[in-house]
């Protein structure tokens, strides 16, 4: 089986090289049979990488310790689910998963564009195959997943206990899916630049892909934060670690892109900017892998420091030169006559939202690379920690919230004063009222007041939009309110899906602000029977209890929990010990409500004295971060749902494309 996997990867690399040649040749010489064969090569690549993945999974499940990878990331006692998840537990497997996703998406693109986009499709195939060549090259020559051990190991070293958690099953695949799917818009943008077909057809074709990528980047970041929250036991969920930043940056740029694209579709402006954003998003996904894999920047996550760095840098530089070169070459044809007319316009709001989003991405990039830069310039490593990121991103997030309220409602081109008042008067009143109410309740931090006021303002604008839409529908057709609402969203899913995403962002933002400003913690050494009161909760220590299985030894500290005298049952944070890898880990006890989260960590347990040293955090509103994330995901699903008009437009595009392809000698240039 391992040999089969190795062989499949070698063949896939050859096919990828062939696909580049065949598609480019086919496009230049108007030889559709070559383009067709490149398409088939992409499908075959997917089959081959699937075989490689299956071979590695098989080795993991059957505990084949002749393989270095299996010995390093698995063990006989590892539960089946984690054996499968060990596929992305280490570097080689992660890159294999990456490559598999890339070939999967390439195969889908090849399928979708059998007849569509016949002008640019060959170059799309070529770029996708080109990216695949890099990853397959790595898997074949630099970091082979099927490396055998000189002496087979008797047992494996086990998967890191911190990874033995159900989030392991969903966080890395989500993030990778988000990362890798960003390649598709990049391939289309590159192809549009190569062929000079720079109308917005490439944007319309990749809108879903961009949203798909954004959806999974959102979930990937969210799951990662949740994982850190549940497993690492420090009561927080985000530490501005380089690896986290690497996942955040493409998300920010992709968010900017999803907005600025609307300006191009509507006003034919910002073409260069959109192309640049797509290129940046792709570059940042590769940069992210580079950071996680190279160990160049010291991170708490620094996975194995490996020699992959230079290859990633080389690939990144090649891709950047290629793309920027194309962009400069096409610059003269990308100039547009359209212009911004007024600061009080939707175009302007979107432009500024883009600047702020890219500004945040740049600040995160700068802070992440700062140790490297300072070492290069001043000869000494200087680092900036979480305070840097909070100081910079905090105010920019407020600006973003404000623009999020203004952008969707303000008129295109130029808003008149009366229109502004009619749109924003009630939301502004709501925002101010919420702010005043909070002051009256005793809140004094200006940031918190501004944040919650803006959040209320944005929610009110969305409510106004929904209310107005429902009213308009009911004016035209006799419908009940819920029915009108459902039809409104169904008929304009893109727009209202976007609003739902905004509501999610606001909820998540409120969760972040609440948990950042109002988190409290206490630390106690408990003897049996002792109690402590935290907020409205009372905890009483009942004693320690140990359990043992071959995979894990656990010591639980049992507490009875009650709230305002009402019993809520028992909670038991634990210290775990994994004998195979000789690693301790902790298991957090969590009680989550919309008001606050009670988070109990067993820092140490003393068997002799029967005492437990416990940290207890009370984190207000953090619930809304996760809830908001789910609302964002839901909104994205609504926004990508196929709608009737779009389907008709695509069908029309397809027909015209076929008409062009049908003409003799039209496929040439």
Partner 1 sequence: MIKNAKFVVGIVLIVGAIGYLIASAVKSTSEYYLTVNEVQGRLSELQDETFRVAGRVEPGTISWDAQTLTLAFAITSLPKEAAKATAPSDPVSFRVISRGEPKPDMFAANRDVIVEGRFGRGGVIEASQVLTKCPSKYIPEHGEKQVSDAAAR
Q: How far is the CB of 613 from partner 1 (least distance, A)?
A: 5
Q: CB within 8 A of 430, min separation 6: which ones? A: 456, 457, 459, 460
Token digits of residue 183? 């390649």
Q: How far is the CB of 652 from partner 1 (least distance, A)?
A: 33
Nearest to 162 by CA among 68, 248, 76, 229: 229
Distance CA 23, CA 17 (A): 10
Site for partner 1 in 324-343 (CB under 8 A): 339-341, 343
Distance CA 319, CA 337 (A): 30
Please report which helix (H) or strand (E) contains residue 101, including its range: helix 91-112
Site string for partner 1, 642-661 (x = CB under 8 A): --------------------
Q: Which stretch binds partner 1 (CB under 8 A): 419-427, 474-482, 607-615, 631-639?
A: 607-615
Q: State phi, psi for 335 to the nearest 5 degrees.
A: -65, 140
**Residue 384 or 428 with smaller CB distance to partner 1:** 384
Residue 383 within binding range of partner 1, rule CB under 8 A: yes
Residue 163 within binding range of partner 1, rule CB under 8 A: yes
Based on its alpha-carbon atoms, the radius of gyration of the chain, rounded to whole angstroms, reads: 27
Site for partner 1 in 194-253 (CB under 8 A): 233
Site string for partner 1, 274-303 (x = CB under 8 A): ------------------------x-xxxx
Q: Which stretch binds partner 1 (CB under 8 A): 218-226, 447-455, 474-482, 606-614?
A: 606-614
Q: How far is the CB of 29 from partner 1 (least distance, A)?
A: 41
Write the CA distances from 386 to 238, 303, 440, 520, integer angstroms: 9, 21, 31, 18
Q: Which stretch binds partner 1 (CB under 8 A): 16-24, 156-164, 196-204, 501-509?
A: 156-164
Residue 362 within binding range of partner 1, rule CB under 8 A: yes
Q: How far is the CB of 294 from partner 1 (least distance, A)?
A: 14
User: Residue 583 forms beta bridges with which residues?
Assistant: 578
Site for partner 1 in 571-600 (CB under 8 A): 581-586
Site string for partner 1, 414-433 (x = CB under 8 A): --------------------
Tokens 């105010």, residue located? 395
Residue 523 within binding range of partner 1, rule CB under 8 A: yes
Q: Which stretch binds partner 1 (CB under 8 A): 16-24, 192-200, 307-315, 388-396?
A: 388-396
Q: How far is the CB of 517 from partner 1 (least distance, A)?
A: 18
**Residue of 10, 396, 637, 653 interacting with partner 1 (CB under 8 A):** 396
Residue 162 within binding range of partner 1, rule CB under 8 A: yes
Distance CA 50, CA 57 (A): 10
Write the CA distances from 72 to 97, 165, 463, integer angstroms: 17, 18, 53
- Length, in residues, of the chain: 669
**Residue 385 or 642 with smaller CB distance to partner 1:** 385
Q: Which stretch binds partner 1 (CB under 8 A): 54-62, 152-160, 418-426, 475-483?
A: 152-160
**Residue 73 or 496 with smaller CB distance to partner 1:** 73
145 CB neighbour count, 10 Å cutoff: 28
Site for partner 1 in 59-78 (CB under 8 A): 68, 71-73
Residue 149 within binding range of partner 1, rule CB under 8 A: yes
**Residue of 29, 114, 115, 381 interacting with partner 1 (CB under 8 A):** 381
**Residue 293 or 558 with smaller CB distance to partner 1:** 293
Provide the CB-side half-sphere exposure for 332 (13 A, CA).
Answer: 1
Q: CB within 8 A of 346, min separation 6: which ones? A: 407, 408, 410, 411, 412
Distance CA 105, CA 128 (A): 9
Residue 371 within binding range of partner 1, rule CB under 8 A: yes
Q: CB within 8 A of 309, min separation 6: which ones? A: 290, 293, 294, 295, 296
Site for partner 1 in 177-196 (CB under 8 A): none
Q: How far is the CB of 362 from partner 1 (least distance, A)?
A: 7
Nearest to 11 by CA among 64, 68, 49, 54: 49
Q: Are 547 and 553 in contact (CB under 8 A)?
A: yes
Q: How far is the CB of 338 from partner 1 (least distance, A)?
A: 10
Q: Which stretch binds partner 1 (CB under 8 A): 184-192, 254-262, 512-520, 609-617?
A: 609-617
Q: How far is the CB of 49 from partner 1 (least distance, A)?
A: 22
Buried b (16+ CB within 10 A) or exposed e, 185-205: bbbbbbbbbbbeebebbbbeb
Q: How far is the CB of 351 from partner 1 (least distance, A)?
A: 7
Q: Which stretch binds partner 1 (CB under 8 A): 137-145, 385-393, 475-483, 529-537?
A: 385-393
**Residue 79 or 471 with smaller CB distance to partner 1:** 79
**Residue 117 or 289 with smaller CB distance to partner 1:** 289
Q: Are 600 and 539 in contact (CB under 8 A)?
A: yes
Residue 349 CA to chain centroid, in angstroms? 24
Distance CA 39, CA 153 (A): 42
Nearest to 65 by CA among 7, 3, 144, 2: 2
Site for partner 1 in 622-641 (CB under 8 A): none
Using DSSP, state whether 8 is helix, strand or coil.
Answer: helix
**Residue of 328, 376, 382, 659 interacting with partner 1 (CB under 8 A):** 382
**Residue 206 or 611 with smaller CB distance to partner 1:** 611
**Residue of 443, 603, 630, 633 interacting with partner 1 (CB under 8 A):** 603
Q: Which stretch binds partner 1 (CB under 8 A): 88-96, 136-144, 325-333, 484-492?
A: 88-96
Residue 384 within binding range of partner 1, rule CB under 8 A: yes
Q: Which stretch binds partner 1 (CB under 8 A): 2-10, 392-400, 442-450, 555-563?
A: 392-400
Write the CA distances from 364 to 79, 102, 245, integer angstroms: 38, 27, 7
Using DSSP, state whether 204 is helix, strand or coil.
Answer: helix
**Residue of 151, 377, 417, 665 interacting with partner 1 (CB under 8 A):** 151
Distance CA 139, CA 92 (A): 7
Q: Are 133 and 41 in contact (CB under 8 A)?
A: no
Q: State phi, psi for 22 to the nearest 5 degrees.
A: -65, -40
Please work out the total of residues on this chain that contact partner 1, with binding judged by CB under 8 A. 72
Q: Are 60 and 140 in contact (CB under 8 A)?
A: no
Distance CA 65, CA 276 (A): 46
Q: How far is the CB of 213 from partner 1 (least distance, A)?
A: 24
Q: How far is the CB of 339 from partner 1 (least distance, A)?
A: 5
Token digits of residue 485? 């609402």
**Residue of 79, 81, 325, 385 interacting with partner 1 (CB under 8 A):** 385
Residue 606 within binding range of partner 1, rule CB under 8 A: yes
From the number of C-beta atoms within 10 Å of its C-beta (0-12, 13-18, 19+), residue 61 rates as middle
Site for partner 1 in 99-118 (CB under 8 A): none
**Residue 177 or 354 with smaller CB distance to partner 1:** 354
């Amino acid at each position: 089986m391992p040999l089969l996997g190795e062989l499949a990867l070698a063949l896939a690399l050859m096919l990828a090289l062939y696909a580049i040649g065949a598609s480019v040749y086919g496009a230049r010489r108007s030889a559709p049979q070559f383009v067709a064969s490149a398409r088939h090569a992409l499908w075959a690549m997917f089959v081959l990488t699937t075989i490689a993945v299956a071979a590695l999974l098989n080795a993991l499940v059957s505990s084949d310790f002749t393989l270095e990878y299996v010995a390093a990331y698995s063990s006989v006692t590892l539960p089946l689910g984690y054996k499968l998840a060990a596929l992305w537990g280490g570097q080689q497997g992660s890159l294999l998963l990456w490559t598999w996703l890339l070939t999967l998406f390439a195969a889908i693109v090849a399928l979708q564009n059998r007849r569509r986009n016949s002008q640019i499709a060959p170059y799309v195939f070529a770029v996708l195959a080109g990216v695949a060549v890099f990853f397959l090259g790595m898997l074949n020559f630099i970091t082979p997943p099927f490396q055998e051990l000189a002496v087979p190991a008797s047992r494996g070293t086990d998967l890191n206990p911190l990874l033995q958690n159900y989030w392991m099953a969903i966080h890395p695949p989500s993030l990778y899916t988000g990362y890798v799917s960003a390649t598709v818009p990049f391939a289309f943008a590159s192809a549009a630049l190569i062929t000079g077909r720079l109308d917005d057809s490439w944007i319309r074709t990749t809108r879903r892909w961009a949203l798909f990528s954004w959806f999974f980047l959102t979930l990937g970041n969210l799951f990662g934060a949740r994982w850190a929250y549940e497993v690492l036991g420090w009561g927080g969920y985000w530490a501005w670690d380089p690896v986290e930043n690497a996942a955040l940056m493409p998300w920010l740029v992709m968010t900017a892109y999803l907005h600025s694209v609307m300006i191009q579709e509507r006003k034919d402006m910002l073409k260069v900017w959109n192309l640049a954003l797509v290129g940046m998003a792709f570059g940042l996904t590769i940069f992210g892998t580079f950071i996680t894999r190279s160990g160049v920047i010291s991170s708490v996550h620094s996975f194995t420091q490996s020699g992959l760095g230079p290859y990633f840098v080389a690939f990144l530089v090649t891709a950047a030169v290629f793309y920027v070169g194309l962009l400069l070459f096409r610059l003269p044809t990308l100039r547009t006559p359209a212009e911004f007319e007024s600061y009080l316009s939707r175009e302007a709001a979107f432009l500024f939202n883009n600047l702020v989003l890219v500004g945040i991405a740049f600040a995160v990039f700068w802070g992440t690379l700062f140790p490297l830069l300072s070492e290069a310039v001043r000869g000494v490593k200087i680092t900036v920690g979480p305070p840097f990121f909070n100081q910079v991103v905090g105010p920019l997030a407020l600006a973003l919230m404000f623009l999020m309220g203004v952008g969707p409602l303000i008129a295109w081109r130029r808003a008149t004063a009366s229109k502004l008042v009619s749109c924003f008067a009630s939301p502004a009143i709501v925002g101010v009222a919420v702010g005043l109410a909070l002051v009256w309740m005793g809140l004094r931090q200006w940031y918190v007041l501004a944040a919650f006021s803006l959040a209320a303002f944005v929610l009110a604008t969305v409510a106004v939009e929904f209310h107005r839409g429902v009213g308009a529908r009911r004016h035209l057709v006799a419908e009940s309110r819920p029915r009108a609402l459902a039809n409104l969203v169904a008929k304009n899913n893109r727009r209202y899906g976007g609003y739902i995403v905004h509501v999610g962002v606001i909820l998540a933002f409120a969760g972040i602000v609440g948990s950042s400003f109002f988190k409290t913690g206490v630390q106690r050494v408990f003897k049996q029977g002792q109690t402590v009161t935290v907020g409205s909760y009372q905890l009483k220590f009942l004693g320690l209890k140990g359990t043992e299985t071959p995979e894990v030894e656990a010591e639980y500290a049992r507490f009875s929990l009650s709230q305002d005298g009402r019993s809520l049952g028992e909670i038991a944070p634990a210290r775990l010990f994994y004998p195979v890898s000789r690693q301790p880990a902790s298991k957090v006890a969590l009680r989550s409500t919309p008001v606050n989260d009670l988070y109990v960590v067993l820092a140490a347990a003393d068997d002799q004295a029967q005492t437990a040293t416990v940290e207890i955090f009370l984190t207000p509103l953090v619930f809304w971060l996760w809830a908001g994330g789910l609302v964002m995901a839901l909104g994205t699903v609504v926004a990508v749902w196929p709608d009737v008009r779009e389907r008709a437009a695509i069908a029309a595009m397809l027909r015209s494309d076929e008409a062009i392809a049908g003409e003799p000698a039209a496929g040439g240039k």
